[in-house]
């Protein structure tokens, strides 16, 4: 038994699968089940093939564990040990829970990537259907040389994806619902948790500090929702709360943001006033400095306001954290020397730009911006209220169109017949004859008629055949020169693949065409290509034989 060398992590006896008793083994890389009394596994799944596991609800009589594979198949195990079924199941579940994510990432990524490629590229998808689903070649073969460039292209493709920001209202989405018996239910999803972590790094830190060791996940979130941190309108009094530290950290963060000041001098309220009145002058009295006079309500209101400002700032920062990293650094360097003399040197460019922006009247200047084509609305109401289809379209920019129209107009305007260098009359008439219908140069036009002659479905099929054949031929020709045993093997296989293709795909198509009395030489070129491949193969084979003998 090959698996003997494997490390067995867990063995559960009395597990039924398809009404057959047996034993479940959890090993380092796969999960396996063998029926009782036999020493081979009838079920064996690599962890990387498993998409997820499902368990039967607690109250159910049958205690089951289901594994769902990426292929969509599933296997169900029924834990049948009367006394310890639940415990067994939970042990298996826990272990799987830890193991699966490790394999998942890699497998998933590849799978997702393949999936994405198929979805994004209809031609590839068709090819996949033609070749793999009809089992001309195996999936691995198909992907073998796709994934190569896939892996190279991979990172850039992923990076092109835009970072998704955080909804400003994620906290609103977890509005508690009363559960009817004096309790509150909060609905948390992975997305919300992710949002909370990204917005409040302090909470994430608390989570990683506390969560498996001191608190369970559930307890953690319960405490979170009970905390003063979450309910900012309650005044923070107790210090037992694990989140009180978070609040302090937030405060600190807010303060440091405030101290750093703003980059845009036009919104800096501190430097707005040129000369403030000295203390004691002016009509307004200075605000009473005694903080004790603030009522509890007022300070709770102030806390709410602070919280909203902070929350919005954090949400905004979470959305642009990646892009901002370098600028942050720049501002740090400028703030570390903390000298306003230095900041002077940094400031002017921003300031200049902002000032120029502020005094600009774009409509008073002669326009030199890009020209646009105005939408000419006959019924603006229909535009404003009608349905708008969501389509992404590629179109040339209006600037391009204008440019090209202008260009042509210019060309036409400047056209001057150059009468000294015209062609001779005989040459001209022969050219005209060649270009008129029936002429030599117009013969090609007859071929266009295929468009009309052949029904579109046949055309489509032909296209697919071409694509499939080309893919196979590509594989075939890529084996030459054959200089390794592997390639030898492959070339043999590819030849048989080609033959199989001709038998299963091309021949039925030819018959179909014949049945429809269409011109048979539609597939002529395809056959020609295949013949070339075969003859190449034969030459190679005979040469090899000669060499061997």
Site for another protein in 367-426 (CB under 8 A): 367, 372, 374-375, 377, 380, 384
Which of 57, 180, 286, 485 binds another protein (CB under 8 A)? It is: 286
Alpha-carbon span 178 to 186, nearest angstrom: 9
Which of 356, 392, 420, 456 binds another protein (CB under 8 A)? It is: 356
- Taking the complex as a whole, the smallest distance from the CB of residue 526 to another protein amounts, in Å, to 52
Is residue 255 packed enough to be buried (19+ CB in 10 Å), middle (13-18) or exposed (0-12)?
exposed
Instruction: Report 153-182 residues binding another protein (CB under 8 A).
Output: 165, 167-169, 171-172, 175
Other CB atoms within 10 A of residue 334 CB:
17
- Taking the complex as a whole, the smallest distance from the CB of residue 409 to another protein amounts, in Å, to 20
- Taking the complex as a whole, the smallest distance from the CB of residue 257 to another protein amounts, in Å, to 6
Helices 296-337 and 244-260: crossing angle in degrees, nearest 10, is 50
C-beta closer to another protein: residue 82 or 278: 278
C-beta closer to another protein: residue 283 or 449: 283
Read off the tokens for 161.
């994806």
Which of 239, 288, 452, 483 binds another protein (CB under 8 A)? It is: 288
Site string for another protein, 305-344 (x = CB under 8 A): xx-xx--xx-xx--xx------------------xxx--x
Which of 98, 119, 151, 301 binds another protein (CB under 8 A)? It is: 301
- Taking the complex as a whole, the smallest distance from the CB of residue 317 to another protein amounts, in Å, to 8
Counting contacts by CB under 8 A, is residue 298 touching another protein?
Answer: yes
C-beta closer to another protein: residue 86 or 272: 272
Q: Among positive and negative, which fits the CA dihedral 15, 19, 22, 25?
A: negative
Which of these segments, 65-73, 154-162, 283-291, 504-512, binds another protein (CB under 8 A)? 283-291
Give Dmax (Cα) for the chain: 114
- Taking the complex as a whole, the smallest distance from the CB of residue 234 to another protein amounts, in Å, to 12
Indicate the Cα dihedral angle 327, 330, 335, 339, nearest 10°: -130
- Taking the complex as a whole, the smallest distance from the CB of residue 241 to another protein amounts, in Å, to 21
Which of 39, 273, 411, 457 binds another protein (CB under 8 A)? It is: 273
Counting contacts by CB under 8 A, is residue 503 touching another protein?
Answer: no
- Taking the complex as a whole, the smallest distance from the CB of residue 258 to another protein amounts, in Å, to 5
Which of 101, 148, 176, 261 binds another protein (CB under 8 A)? It is: 261
Distance set, CA 260 to CA 123, 198, 331, 332, 418 (Å): 54, 22, 8, 9, 72
Instruction: Report 13-42 residues binding another protein (CB under 8 A).
Output: none
Alpha-carbon span 151 to 148, nearest angstrom: 5
Q: Is the peptide bond before 494 cis (omega within 30 degrees of 0)?
A: no
Counting contacts by CB under 8 A, is residue 272 touching another protein?
Answer: yes
Question: Per DSSP, what are the bridge partners of residue 22?
Answer: 15, 35
Question: Per DSSP, what are the bridge partners of residue 185?
Answer: 177
Which of these segments, 145-153, 271-279, 464-472, 528-536, binds another protein (CB under 8 A)? 271-279
C-beta closer to another protein: residue 311 or 464: 311
C-beta closer to another protein: residue 310 or 475: 310
Read off the tokens for 74.
């599933």
Which of 42, 135, 145, 271 binds another protein (CB under 8 A)? It is: 271
Alpha-carbon span 6 to 99, nearest angstrom: 15
Q: Which own/partner pairs from 526-529 qualify as long-range (CB within 8 Å, at least 24 positions apart)?
A: 526/465, 526/466, 526/469, 527/502, 529/469, 529/473
Alpha-carbon span 428 to 424, nearest angstrom: 6
C-beta closer to another protein: residue 175 or 410: 175
Nearest to 85 by CA among 18, 20, 24: 24
Which of 156, 178, 237, 285 binds another protein (CB under 8 A)? It is: 285
Contact 55, 93 (CB under 8 A): yes
- Taking the complex as a whole, the smallest distance from the CB of residue 463 to another protein amounts, in Å, to 42
Question: Euclidean distance between the first and final Cα of the chain, in Å?
Answer: 42
- Taking the complex as a whole, the smallest distance from the CB of residue 413 to another protein amounts, in Å, to 24
Instruction: Report 200-259 residues binding another protein (CB under 8 A).
Output: 233, 254, 257-259
Distance set, CA 28 to CA 10, 15, 56, 509 (Å): 10, 19, 25, 49
Which of 164, 283, 412, 449 binds another protein (CB under 8 A)? It is: 283
């Amino acid at each position: 038994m090959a698996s003997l060398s494997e490390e067995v992590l867990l063995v559960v006896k009395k597990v039924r699968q398809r009404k057959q008793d047996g034993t479940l083994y959890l090993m380092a890389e796969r999960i396996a089940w063998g029926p009782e009394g036999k020493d081979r596994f009838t079920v064996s799944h690599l962890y990387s093939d498993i998409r997820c596991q499902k368990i039967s609800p607690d109250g159910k009589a049958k205690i089951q564990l289901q594994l769902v594979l990426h292929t969509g198949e599933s296997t169900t195990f029924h834990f049948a040990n009367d006394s310890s079924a639940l415990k067994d199941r939970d042990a298996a579940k826990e272990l799987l829970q830890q193991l699966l994510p490790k394999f998942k990432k890699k497998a998933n990524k590849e799978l997702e990537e393949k999936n994405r490629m198929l979805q994004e590229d209809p031609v590839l998808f068709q090819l996949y259907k033609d070749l793999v689903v009809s089992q001309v070649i195996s999936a691995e073969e198909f992907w073998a040389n796709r994934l190569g460039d896939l892996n190279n292209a991979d990172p850039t493709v992923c990076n092109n994806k835009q970072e998704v920001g955080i909804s400003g209202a994620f906290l609103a989405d977890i509005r508690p619902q009363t559960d009817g018996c004096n309790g509150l239910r909060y609905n948390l999803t992975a997305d919300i948790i992710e949002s909370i972590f990204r917005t409040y790094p302090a909470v994430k830190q608390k989570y990683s500090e506390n969560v498996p060791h001191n608190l369970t996940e559930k307890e953690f979130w319960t405490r979170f929702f009970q905390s003063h941190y979450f309910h900012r309108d309650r005044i923070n009094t107790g210090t037992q709360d694990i989140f009180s530290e978070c609040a302090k950290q937030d405060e600190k963060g807010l303060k440091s943001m405030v101290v750093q000041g703003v980059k845009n001098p036009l919104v800096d309220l501190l430097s707005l006033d040129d000369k403030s009145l000295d203390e004691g002058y002016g009509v307004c009295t200075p605000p009473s400095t005694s903080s004790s006079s603030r009522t509890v309500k007022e300070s709770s209101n102030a806390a709410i306001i602070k919280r909203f400002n902070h929350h919005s700032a954090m949400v905004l920062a979470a959305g642009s954290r990646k892009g901002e990293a370098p600028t942050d650094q720049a501002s740090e360097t400028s703030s570390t020397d903390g000298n306003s003399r230095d900041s002077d040197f940094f400031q002017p460019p921003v300031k200049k730009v902002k000032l120029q922006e502020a005094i600009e009247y774009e409509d008073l200047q002669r326009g030199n911006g890009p020209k646009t084509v105005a939408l000419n609305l006959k019924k603006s109401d229909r535009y404003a209220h009608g349905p708008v289809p969501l389509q992404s379209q590629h179109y040339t920019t209006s600037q391009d169109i204008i440019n090209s129209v202008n260009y042509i107009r210019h060309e036409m305007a400047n056209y001057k017949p150059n009468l000294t260098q015209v062609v001779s009359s005989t040459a001209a008439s022969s050219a005209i004859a060649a270009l008129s219908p029936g002429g030599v140069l117009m013969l090609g036009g007859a071929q266009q008629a295929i468009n009309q002659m052949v029904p579109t479905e046949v055309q489509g099929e032909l296209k697919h055949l071409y694509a499939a054949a080309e893919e196979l031929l590509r594989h075939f020709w890529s084996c030459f020169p054959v200089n390794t045993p592997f390639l030898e093997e492959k070339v043999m296989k590819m030849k048989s693949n080609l033959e199989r293709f001709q038998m299963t795909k091309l021949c039925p198509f030819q018959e179909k065409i014949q049945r429809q009395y269409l011109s048979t030489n539609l597939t002529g070129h395809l056959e020609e290509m295949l013949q070339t491949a075969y003859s190449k193969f034969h030459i190679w084979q005979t040469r090899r034989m000669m060499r061997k003998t």
